Amino acid sequence: MSEKVLMKGNEAIAEAAIVAGCRHYFGYPITPQTEIAAYMAKKMPKIGGTFLQAESEIAAINMVYGVSSTGKRVMTSSSSPGISLKGEGLSYMAGCDLPALVVNVQRGGPGLGGIQPSQSDYFQSTRGGGHGDYHMIVLAPASVQEMAELTVKGFELADEYGITSMILADGTIGQMMEPVSLDFDLKPMPEKPWATTGTKMAREHNITNSLSLVPEELEKFNFARYEKYKKIEENECRYEEYMTEDADIILCAFGIAARVSKNAVNEARSKGIKVGLIRPITLWPFPKAPFAKAATHAKAFISVELSMGQMIEDIKLSTECKVPVYLCNRAGGMIPDPKMVMDMIEKVKAGEN
Amino acid sequence: MSTREFLFSGFGGQGILFAGKFLSYKGLIEEKQVSWLPSYGPEMRGGTASCSVIVSDNPVGSPIVSNPDVLVAMNLPSLDRYEQSVKPGGVIFVDSTLIERKVNRDDVTVYYIPATRLASDNKLGNLANMIIVGKIMSVFDEFTDESVDAALAKVISAKHADMLDVNKNALKLGAEYTKE
């Protein structure tokens, strides 16, 4: 185990990406993720990598598309409004089944919004983000250590499945410092026989292209892609359960909201109220199993979010609406505090009895 | 100590974030669980700056400190804003050079340290922050040469190694300060 160092969440993403073998970063500055770009600007030239501040987010994502086509590990990062600009590129990459890592350190929206933390890009990221039938793997870190670990995991999953992985963080996790260890068991990078690296006159041309004008063929691509997504749903769901076994009330939260919720679980337990927490780590694929299981004994769910309740749809789908789901939220850059969650727990408990 | 939650607050340029970082590293070196969370945004440019630091024997839950055990107030707006949020039984450290009024609570312990004046009297530049941190360490009986040296080495880069002694002097001055 290597020595732990204090790092900001954003810096941990950048360093973990380098450890994972990423040598190409393209981005355009935006708060609250700027430390990622700053770190890359400092480090990449020293290790033979590329840091490039593009002229826009759209340019940056298309540079990612280009490098990914050559089989190299590549990433970009931005925050909410910048991710919207990248939407077209994300869709094009999905149409080419290209692996990449995209980081969204969310801020309040819609529009230009604010610069304080938010989770209101849940719909956008879990439903693909751009046009067309596609998904990204969406990873939601709740600590600086997870910012690093899920970055590595994100690259590995992207390469394994030919898909974009998105780190869906928020301004708090991006800005906070915690001890982090950057000692990873890296999987060997897989062969990429599809990469456009020159034929050397020894093979057929590789082409990455999302244009497909024959509907019968495009349909085949769509169906095949969803076979792949099915496999990801079966194999890659990640979540953490905290004191759920005997819980009457289940809190559901990811990222910073899960940290706040954990405090509330501890406080509720100290008052004798049986509360647990399910923390999805993958938001797509959504970990339905622990929710379905909890719905067999819990009387109520409370979704704790920094949005207007975007995750509730997935909770209801996972539990087939068997148990009521309440919302405890702040929005626009505000963060619920443990007391607010505790008040909601007591309100729900009173209502359920 | 199981968990101690700090809130550092002042205006941009007083080394609020740096003071928090120092205590975070000190915790890390002592194998505690720590978190450090700055306020960020436009308010940092000359306005108020604050940072939440949690040092604990257990994994840190929410990194946001709403009700600190320890408040460091380095200007009046900070004391006005956070005085009432301190837990009963908590401790408030006040830079009494910049804050003339007294704390209006009788359920907390208050230390008034003229840190900004002490820094200028002793040619310690703008290290009022570290004078207060030194006082915090001595109040909690955690001031040792080893912990100071180790944590300073983490927060001061090799490029600024000449600042090590100055910071240590500021910490010592704070630790030894008793009301004049």
Res B12: pLDDT = 85
Contact yes or no for B62 and A339 at CB 8 A:
no
Tens-place pLDDT, residues B89-124 = 999 999 999 999 999 999 999 999 999 999 999 999
pLDDT at A51 over 60: yes
Q: What percent of chain A has pLDDT over 70?
A: 99
CATH 1.10.10.10 for the A5-192+199-235 domain, yes or no: no
Distance from CA of A258 to the nearest CA of B (A): 8
Tens-place pLDDT, residues A238-257 = 999 999 999 999 999 999 99
**Which residue of B lies nearest to A107 if distances are taken between CA atoms?**
B41
Res B46: pLDDT = 63
Mean pLDDT for A211-237 is 98
Res B142: pLDDT = 86
List the structure tokens of A85.
């600009």
Q: Tell me if A5-192+199-235 shares its fold with A239-352.
A: yes
Mean pLDDT for A261-267 is 96
pLDDT at A265 over 60: yes
CB B161 within 8 A of CB B145: no
CB A323 within 8 A of CB A284: no
According to DSSP H, which parts of chain A are helical?
9-19, 34-43, 57-69, 80-95, 122-126, 144-161, 171-175, 215-235, 255-270, 288-294, 312-319, 338-352
pLDDT at B147 over 90: no
Nearest to A263 among B21, B41, B62 (CB): B62
Res B13: pLDDT = 87
Q: Which of B21, B36, B40 would best serve as a mutation to test chain A binding (most A beta carbons within 10 A)?
A: B40
Angle in degrees, CA A109, A341, B105, rounded to 5: 100
Mean pLDDT for A44-70 is 98
Q: What percent of chain A has pLDDT over 90?
A: 98
CB B111 within 8 A of CB B134: no
Any idea which residue has 């909201």 for tokens? A257
Contact yes or no for A338 and B62 at CB 8 A:
yes
Q: What is the number of residues in chain A? A: 353
Query: Is any Cβ of chain A less than 8 angstroms from the Cβ of B126?
Result: no
Contact yes or no for B21 and A177 at CB 8 A:
yes
Give Cα separations from A112 to A31, A83, A133, A227 (angstroms): 11, 11, 27, 37
Tens-place pLDDT, residues A141-166 = 999 999 999 999 999 999 999 999 99
Query: Minimal CA–CA distance to B62: which of A267, A13, A291?
Result: A267
Nearby residues of A279 by Cβ (< 8 Å), 6 or more positions away: A142, A239, A240, A241, A242, A252, A253, A254, A258, A261
CATH 3.40.50.920 for the A239-352 domain, yes or no: yes
Contact yes or no for A260 and B64 at CB 8 A:
yes
According to DSSP H, which parts of chain B are helical?
16-29, 76-82, 115-121, 128-139, 145-155, 163-176
What's the pLDDT band for B44 if we cut at 50, 70, 90?
low
Q: Which of A106, A176, A263 would best serve as a mutation to test chain B binding (most B beta carbons within 10 A)?
A: A176
Res B45: pLDDT = 59
**Calpha distance A240→A238 (Å, rounded):** 7
Domains annotated on chain B, with CATH: 3-176 (3.40.920.10)
**Calpha distance A349→A274 (Å, rounded):** 10
Say how many CB pairs under 8 Å bridge A and B. Answer: 62
Res A2: pLDDT = 65
pLDDT at A57 over 80: yes
3-state secondary structure of A333: coil
Tell me the residues of A at the B interface, defined by beta carbons under 8 Å apart. Answer: 4, 6, 31-32, 115-116, 171-172, 175-179, 256, 259-260, 262-263, 266, 335, 337-339
**Which residue of A lies nearest to B55 if distances are taken between CA atoms?**
A178
Mean pLDDT for B54-82 is 95
Distance from CA of B132 to the nearest CA of A (A): 22
Chain A hits for B25, CB-CB cut-off 8 Å, are 6
Q: Where are the domains of chain A?
A: 5-192+199-235, 239-352
CB A286 within 8 A of CB A343: no
Q: Tell me the pLDDT of chain B averaged across its residues.
A: 93
CB B9 within 8 A of CB B82: yes
Report helix angle A80-95 to A57-69, nearest 10. Answer: 30
Distance from CA of B34 to the nearest CA of A (A): 6
Q: Which of A266-275, B36-45, B130-139, B141-150 has the lowest mean pLDDT?
A: B36-45
CB B65 within 8 A of CB B18: no
Give Cα separations from A349 to A44, A267, A292, A328 (angstroms): 53, 14, 20, 14
What's the pLDDT band for A270 if we cut at 50, 70, 90?
very high
Query: Minimal CA–CA distance to B110: which of B119, B118, B101?
Result: B101
Contact yes or no for B62 and A32 at CB 8 A:
no
Res B180: pLDDT = 59
Indicate the pTM of the whole model: 0.95
**Which residue of B lies nearest to A173 if distances are taken between CA atoms?**
B37
Res A11: pLDDT = 98
According to DSSP H, which parts of A29-79 are helical?
34-43, 57-69
Query: Minimal CA–CA distance to B156: which of B168, B144, B145?
Result: B168
Nearby residues of A94 by Cβ (< 8 Å), 6 or more positions away: A128, A130, A132, A134, A135, A136, A163, A164, A210, A225
What's the pLDDT band for A49 if we cut at 50, 70, 90?
very high
Q: Which long-range contacts (CB under 8 A, 24 or more apart) does B87-96 make?
A: B91/B139, B93/B132, B93/B135, B93/B136, B95/B10, B95/B128, B95/B132
The dihedrals phi and psi of A29, each to the nearest 5 degrees, come to: -65, 140
CB B29 within 8 A of CB B150: yes
Nearby residues of B39 by Cβ (< 8 Å), 6 or more positions away: B48, B49, B50, B51
Residues of B (35-74) whose Cβ lies below 8 Å from A: 35-38, 40-42, 60-64, 66
Chain A hits for B34, CB-CB cut-off 8 Å, are 6, 178-179
